[in-house]
Structure 1
Amino acid sequence: MISSIEGLSVLVTGSSKGIGKGIATSFAASGARVTVVARTEAAAMATVEEIKQAGGTAIACAADVTKRDQMDAAVAASVEAFGGLDVLCANAGIFPSASLEEMTEDQWDEVLDTNLKGTFISVQAALPALKKSQAGRVVLTSSITGPITGFPGWSHYGASKAGQLGFLRTAAIELGKYQITINAVMPGNIITEGLEGMGQNYLDQMAASIPLKRLGDTTDIASAAMFFASREAGYVTGQTIVVDGGQVLPESLEAME
Structure 2
Amino acid sequence: MSSHAGRVAVVTGAGRGIGRAIADALAAAGAATAYLDTEAALAEAAAAAAQERGLTAMARAVDVADEAAVGAAFAAVAAAFGPVDVLVNNAGISPKSGADGRRAEARAVSLGEWQRVLDVNLTGAFLCTRAVLPGMQTLGRGQIVNMASVAGRTYCDIVAVHYAATKAALIGMTKHLAGEQGPYGISVNAIAPGRIDTPLMRGSAPEANEAARLATPLRRLGTPEDVAAACLFLTSPAGAFVTGQVCDVAGGWLLT
Fold shared by both chains (TM-score > 0.5)? yes
Find 1:116's aligned residue among 110, 115, 122. 122
The Cα of 1:70 is off from its aligned counterpart by: 1.2
In the other structure, the counterpart of 1:43 is: 42
Name the amino acid aligned to 2:227. I
The Cα of 1:42 is off from its aligned counterpart by: 2.0
Contact 2:15–2:39 (Cα < 8 Å) also in 1: no
In the other structure, the counterpart of 2:175 is: 169
Counterpart Cα distance in 2 of 1:151 and 1:204: 13
Name the amino acid aligned to 2:13. G
In the other structure, the counterpart of 1:33 is: 32
SS of equivalent residue, structure 1 residue 193? coil
In the other structure, the counterpart of 2:100 is: none
- TM-score computed with the length of structure 2 as normaliser: 0.92
In the other structure, the counterpart of 2:22 is: 23
In the other structure, the counterpart of 1:254 is: none
Instruction: Kindly indicate whether residue 137 of structure 2 is the aligned counterpart of residue 131 of structure 1.
Output: yes
In the other structure, the counterpart of 2:224 is: 218
Counterpart Cα distance in 2 of 1:245 and 1:211: 6
Q: 1:150-177: per-residue Cα shift (whole Å, max 9, x none)?
A: 2255111000000011111111111112
CA RMSD between the two structures: 1.6
User: Would you say how many aligned residue pairs link Structure 1 and Structure 2?
Assistant: 249
In the other structure, the counterpart of 1:208 is: 214
The Cα of 1:240 is off from its aligned counterpart by: 0.9
The Cα of 1:226 is off from its aligned counterpart by: 1.2
Name the amino acid aligned to 1:172. A
Counterpart Cα distance in 2 of 1:199 and 1:52: 36
User: Mapping of 1:1-16 within 5 angstroms?
Assistant: 3-16=2-15
Counterpart Cα distance in 2 of 1:192 and 1:40: 16
Contact 1:85–1:133 (Cα < 8 Å) also in 2: no
Ranges in structure 1 where 5+ consecutive residues have no aligned partner: 251-257
Contact 2:141–2:184 (Cα < 8 Å) also in 1: no
In the other structure, the counterpart of 1:232 is: 238
The Cα of 1:3 is off from its aligned counterpart by: 4.0
Counterpart Cα distance in 2 of 1:84 and 1:198: 38
Counterpart Cα distance in 2 of 1:135 and 1:47: 27
SS of equivalent residue, structure 2 residue 127? helix
Counterpart Cα distance in 2 of 1:38 and 1:4: 25
Same amino acid, percent of matched pairs: 37
In the other structure, the counterpart of 1:255 is: none
- TM-score computed with the length of structure 1 as normaliser: 0.91
Counterpart Cα distance in 1 of 2:72 and 2:30: 24
Q: 1:210-233: per-residue Cα shift (whole Å, max 9, x none)?
A: 111111110111111111111222
The Cα of 1:120 is off from its aligned counterpart by: 0.9
SS of equivalent residue, structure 1 residue 101? helix
Q: 1:36-59: per-residue Cα shift (whole Å, max 9, x none)?
A: 101132221011112122332100
Q: 1:94-135: per-residue Cα shift (whole Å, max 9, x none)?
A: 001222121111111111111111111110011122223353
Instruction: Kindly indicate whether residue 249 of structure 2 is the aligned counterpart of residue 249 of structure 1.
Output: no
Counterpart Cα distance in 1 of 2:16 and 2:158: 24
User: Mapping of 1:18-167 within 5 angstroms?
Assistant: 18-97=17-96, 98-151=104-157, 153-167=159-173
Counterpart Cα distance in 2 of 1:149 and 1:138: 26
Name the amino acid aligned to 1:68. E
Q: Which stretch of structure 1 is more off in the superposition, 194-203 or 90-99? A: 194-203
Counterpart Cα distance in 2 of 1:113 and 1:83: 28
